[in-house]
A and B are shown apart, each in its own frame.
Chain A
């Protein structure tokens, strides 16, 4: 019983890591340009499909792990430049509506390209099997997902806190007018951040691929759950996204263990509770980014 629960907690941690990657992308994009990217879930799905494609072409998972997120990132750049940029200055609902349409288009294009039946993505041979951590055996691939996500998070933190571009991004999400008054072209920063956020979604997709089934609609429920993570953590707050991502991962995983039917429902109950007690989220500042 206890080892089974430990295994479940571990599964929850891995799931949480995927949520964190997705939520950080959403939160970063929203925090800087108040755009909710509904197609974030489709980018996640594309990461898994492109990963499958690159693995099939090169037989190399490691290469795919690098290329798939980059391709999704490049697509994200295109989407920002040609579809979202014309909408700046219009109602803040418009980018959400546009990316909602885009999401349907991407799903259909994937169905046309790779067929309606889901795919399965295999982890590389070096990561198959399980490792004994002293309190139980755990699949190596899942441990790898935790390590990679942690490394990416540290890298992102260093980028935001220690580089000049990171400084501009943080400034831009706090007070865009002031940053522009200092003579900085924020449009290039928006483009970059949209690309980074999309690439993170792609990375989450290829990482999740070997653990979950890969199918065209896989991103839709995930993007809704990731949004719940962002709401619980507080919009625009990176520590919030991390804490809430891990929390929601555990909520899903632990309820799956005790009452599988309630797993999806509990996620929303946590959100409702947070909204009642702390409307701006665990780490959010009240009144910011309304």
Chain B
């Protein structure tokens, strides 16, 4: 084969691949609306995937399993709580005709998904990952986050420290980029508020023994401990702190320290721990009541934060798509940016056009003993912070 022929053949192959791929925005009406869900069903965040799946399933079911008059088909894939499998599976789903991607849970996986969804021009619905960098001004056109950012949760933690009158705080954050940034923000805001940061420790992510750190904290005169850890790290810390009686002399709190799922894993030692709460079934509004009732009827359990956020995000996005009456993904993206959801299960939400981050209230709560039919340990919502106090203006 001569050079000319091989060049023509290569160009033809590239052309075919470009057309076959998702780079061309499709506006054709399809027989089904395909959603590709990449959620953690295994790995450190394996427990999150179940709630997200159930919440999204219910959102779809409650709208008759249809959008744009066509049946919705969801393919569930396990992200394994790792970026690489997340990208591989999302790529496969997009190649199979997914109109949107839903996921992931860990911020690292979500950031990895953003690469592929931006490249293929597929909307990415994020309902749990909290890294502030996921939604940034003029950042990712196809990414929409309907849930909290870590930044707003840090601001809630500071407000809590001020309300509780804490004067000296010991900080513990997982040795991980997002949580280190979070602790830096917390420390800076604490200093502004006149709160002294006694010391900060950065144990490894997935650390298994906090006993020495707990011993160090107990010997300081700090009156509060800010814990920027979550998942099994938070559970391990609170279990071991409980055995040493740390909670009796210090206020234990963190932006994402506890919810009902994690409190159940800690046991009674979780009582009194304060935390930001992404969603809560006790939020008093008609939309939430309807959701909680339907969720309990279908799954025979209270919806957790992951289920509530997934339900809310999925319902919102599908409503927006229906509103466009179009199969053009660019129109969905344009419509979602700047849209307002008055009847969210968490109250009013507004999708900020500049960074595709939903402005919303922030919930803060404390773990307390629950009575049937509630879980044995439940979050009592103690503070509701308004969006103006939690979200800084969009910056370039």
B partners with A: no
By a beta-carbon cutoff of 8 Å, the part of chain A in contact with chain B is none
